[in-house]
Amino acid sequence: MSRRIASLLFYLGSGSCFDVDTFLWPPDDHFILFKQDFMTQDADRPTSSPSCPLPGGGTRRRDVLSTVIVGAGCVGACALAYPFLDSLNGTKNTTLGEDDSIDVDIAALRPGQQLVVTWRGWPVFIQRRTPEMLASLKATDIVQHLRDPDSKILQQPKDAMNWHRSVVPEIGVLIGICTHLGCVPSYATPSANDKAGKYSCPCHGSQFDAAGRVYKEAPAPYNLPVPPVTMLSATQLRIGQSKGDPAFSIASIQQI
Amino acid sequence: MSKPDTTPSGWLETRLPIVSAFRREYVDFAMPRNLTYLWNFGAFATIALALLIVSGIFLALNYTPSVAEAFNSIEMIDRHVSSGWLVRAIHMGGVSMLFAALYVHMARSLYYGSYKAPRELLWLTGLGLFILVMIAAFAGYILPWGQMSYWGATVVINAMNAVPLIGPALASWLLGGEGLGSVALHRIYVLHFVTGFSIVGVIVLHVAALHVVGSNNPTGVEPKASDDVVPFHPYYTTKDGLGLCLFLMVYAALIFFVPDLLTLANNYAMANPLVTPGDITPEWYFAPFYAILRAVPSKLGGLILSAGSLAVLFAVPWLDRSRVKSARYRPMLRWAILGLFLTFIALGVAGMHKPTGLWLAISRVSVAYYYAYFLILLPLLPKIEVTRPLPASLRGESV
């Protein structure tokens, strides 16, 4: 008898079936617990809650309380997790508002050559274009192979939304990161065979023309990004500020 | 007894009985029915430690252990890393909350004789934990490489050097043959999280020992009858749960409303080996030991008494000769131990003030009483003390 009572009280106490209204404390003398019973419970412990006698049926107060406590605990755990996970976002906003533009002297750059500088940690290609390169940018037989020949997709400031994708036709400036999966395309300098010059990505074969416009036959979806550029003089340019499109933010482009 | 192998729980049970072990140790586990809220502080310490480890891992992602970068990386965490200020506040506040919980936890053990047979190993593993926590806390305090970090580290490394025989070797292993520089800082960084994770391992031993001998209780009388005990769940899950809510509220108030209450402004100035700050004070949790160090007018003597104040605790289970555990039934010890708590607090306050005049006198009297309690009163009081009658069971004790 006492074993049955002990297991019943255990059952009540273990949370699967318990009514706060019947919770007597100190317990009645008949409710005797055996320490040994706690250790060797499994044989006679009821295992399913449907056998639990319900005074009035319906939801038990303890079930409601348990659910509320577990729910509140989960909310608390999520709130606690927030600062830790948020800290993984790091310091991305620290440079916001700071002037990170750079000035580049291109006096030594000869037609057909390319200069690579670093801006915001990205490789930036600066090319001085030959007349043949400029002519190739306007050639209709090339244009029909391009995904976005008129630079309709936002990959450049407004003052570079033109046939040569730059502020002045002779100087091209591109961020050298393939829009497929981020490798740096290599520059094929204009040669006797191909006077136009082009970019091809070593990773997955994407092709771009001299103005960074992407060819349809390869995986890259967008033209190479053009950074904001201001021509300070014929031999001096500033990357990071655009005189023709002052509101332009490099963060707003379709894809870097 | 065991479920058939065909059910998923039965399959798991026959291979790795973690479900039944958890039920046995944390659901059905027999607890004395009369534990007070003072028995919550072990759970508090565990939660504080868990938060320290989690926040520490996330701080480590942004911290650079070099003389040139350490201070800046901490400033970066505080000012620029998303939610970094909060993660660091959780970590710094957690140290104070952990030490506060541990001091109450230890005082409760001393008052109710929880260190006595059969719980000596529980006491010893607990003291081991406390020392590991002190090492981790001290190493952690050096990492921001502020003025207090630098000069605190300098003082402790010189103190290590003053220890005969092993001291210079230990200091050399820590510093790596140079002065206090990047090499040492890197080692202290590794020491910080190695001790942090070691603490988790020793907690496993501490809790395993607890589950062999069971909890002590305010009467110090072992539960004998079946109605002396109640199952851990729901009785103490709810009691610990309520206490934890209050503990976390205090913790949150510390983090969000007074994050600078327990930190020193000097440590927000970068370490400068050319200038010692005019006002060196330790963190509050080290203040009692710092006060002992300064109370003794001898370099080695101060170190011995300061370290000895911890070492003497290891002998407590054998220094106390009384058969009665709880100070409730020991009228003389009850006053003596209140005196011990007061002297320890007095040492803590003295440690935060300059060691002159009254504060020096208070420190010296307190050190004398601290040692007298353990070395004279604990062994000798039982010879003259008339203890009050112990209850036969825990039945009449309130919950």
Domain extents for chain A? 2-81, 102-252
pLDDT in tens, B338-373: 999 999 999 999 999 988 889 999 999 999 999 999
Determine the pLDDT at residue A94.
Answer: 57
Q: CATH assignment of B281-383, given 2.60.120, 1.10.3470, 1.10.150, 1.10.287?
A: 1.10.287
% of residues, chain B, pLDDT over 70: 98
Chain B contact present for A47, CB below 8 A = no
| CA A46/CA A62 separation, integer angstroms | 18
What's the angle, vertex CA B55, arms to CA B245 and CA B25, rounded to 5?
A: 55
Determine the pLDDT at residue A4.
Answer: 47
Determine the pLDDT at residue B310.
Answer: 97
Determine the pLDDT at residue A10.
Answer: 47
Contact check, Cβ <8 Å, B82/A32 = no
Radius of gyration of chain B (CA): 23
Residue B245 has pLDDT above 80, yes or no: yes
Residue A93 has pLDDT above 80, yes or no: no
Question: Which position among B9, B83, B211, B354 bears the catalytic label?
Answer: B211
Residue A117 contacts residue A131 (beta carbons within 8 Å)? no
pLDDT band at A19 (very low <50, low <70, confident <90, very high): very low
| CA B31/CA B356 separation, integer angstroms | 49
Residue B148 contacts residue B267 (beta carbons within 8 Å)? yes
Higher pLDDT, A29 or B108: B108
Question: Which position among B55, B114, B149, B215 bears the catalytic label?
Answer: B215
Residue A165 contacts residue A148 (beta carbons within 8 Å)? no
Average pLDDT over residues B133-149: 96
Average pLDDT over residues B207-212: 95
| CA B11/CA A83 separation, integer angstroms | 39
pTM: 0.79
| CA B353/CA B221 separation, integer angstroms | 42
A253's tokens:
């482009």
Q: In what order do the strands lie in the sheet with A114-119?
A: A114-119, A122-128, A171-175
3-state helix/strand/coil string of B171-219: HHHHHCCCCCCHHHHHHHHHHHHHHHHHHHHHHHHHHHHHHHHCCCCCC
| CA A126/CA A154 separation, integer angstroms | 20
Residue by residue, DSSP assigns B32-76 as ETT--GGGGHHHHHHHHHHHHHHHHHHHHTT---STTTHHHHHHH
Q: Which of A8-12, B15-19, B118-122 has the weakest average pLDDT?
A: A8-12
Q: Which of A5-19, A175-189, B280-294 has the weakest average pLDDT?
A: A5-19
Determine the pLDDT at residue B68.
Answer: 94
pLDDT band at A255 (very low <50, low <70, confident <90, very high): confident
Residue B227 a catalytic site member: no
Radius of gyration of chain A (CA): 36
Determine the pLDDT at residue A38.
Answer: 40
Residue A147 contacts residue A129 (beta carbons within 8 Å)? no
Residue A210 has pLDDT above 60, yes or no: yes
What's the angle, vertex CA B356, arms to CA B355 and CA B360, rounded to 5?
A: 65
Determine the pLDDT at residue A90.
Answer: 83
What's the angle, vertex CA A85, arms to CA A82 and CA A88, rounded to 5?
A: 145
**If you measure CA to CA, which chain A residue comes closest to B224?**
A35
Residue B65, phi-psi category: left (phi > 0), alpha (psi -120 to 50), beta (remainder): beta
Residue B399 has pLDDT above 80, yes or no: no
% of residues, chain B, pLDDT over 90: 83
Q: B residues 36-95 near A, CB within 8 Å?
A: 54-55, 58, 61-62, 76-77, 80-84, 86-87, 90
Of the partner residues A34, A39, A86, the one whose CB lies closest to the CB of residue B83: A86
Determine the pLDDT at residue A92.
Answer: 66
Question: Which position among A30, A164, A180, A204 bears the catalytic label?
Answer: A204
pLDDT in tens, B9-22: 899 999 999 999 99
Residue A180 a catalytic site member: no
CATH superfamily of A102-252: Rieske [2Fe-2S] iron-sulphur domain (2.102.10.10)
**If you measure CA to CA, which chain B residue comes closest to A2?**
B226
Cis peptide before A50 (omega within 30 of 0): no
Determine the pLDDT at residue A176.
Answer: 94
Q: What is the ipTM metric for this complex?
A: 0.84
Number of CB atoms found within 10 A of residue A35's CB: 18
Residue A252 has pLDDT above 90, yes or no: no
Contact check, Cβ <8 Å, A38/B83 = no
Sign of CA dihedral A179, A182, A183, A189: positive
Domain extents for chain B? 18-276, 281-383
Determine the pLDDT at residue A96.
Answer: 57
Class of domain B18-276: mainly alpha
B180's tokens:
């206090």
**If you measure CA to CA, which chain A residue comes closest to B54?**
A84
The two counts, helices (H) then strands (E), for chain B are: 16, 2
Amino acid at A36: Q
Determine the pLDDT at residue B398.
Answer: 56
Question: Which position among B91, B240, B309, B320 bears the catalytic label?
Answer: B240
Average pLDDT over residues B246-271: 92
Contact check, Cβ <8 Å, A69/B84 = no
Chain B residues in contact with A90 (beta carbon < 8 A): 62, 81-82
Determine the pLDDT at residue B279.
Answer: 81
**If you measure CA to CA, which chain A residue comes closest to B76?**
A91
B312 to A104, A136, B160: CA distances (angstroms): 71, 89, 20
pLDDT in tens, B51-108: 999 999 999 999 999 999 999 999 999 999 999 999 999 999 999 999 999 999 999 9
Residue A125 contacts residue B121 (beta carbons within 8 Å)? no
Q: Which of A40, A233, A174, A194 is nearest to A112 (CA)?
A: A194
pLDDT band at A139 (very low <50, low <70, confident <90, very high): confident
Strand pairing of A236-239 and A102-105? antiparallel
Average pLDDT over residues B206-218: 95
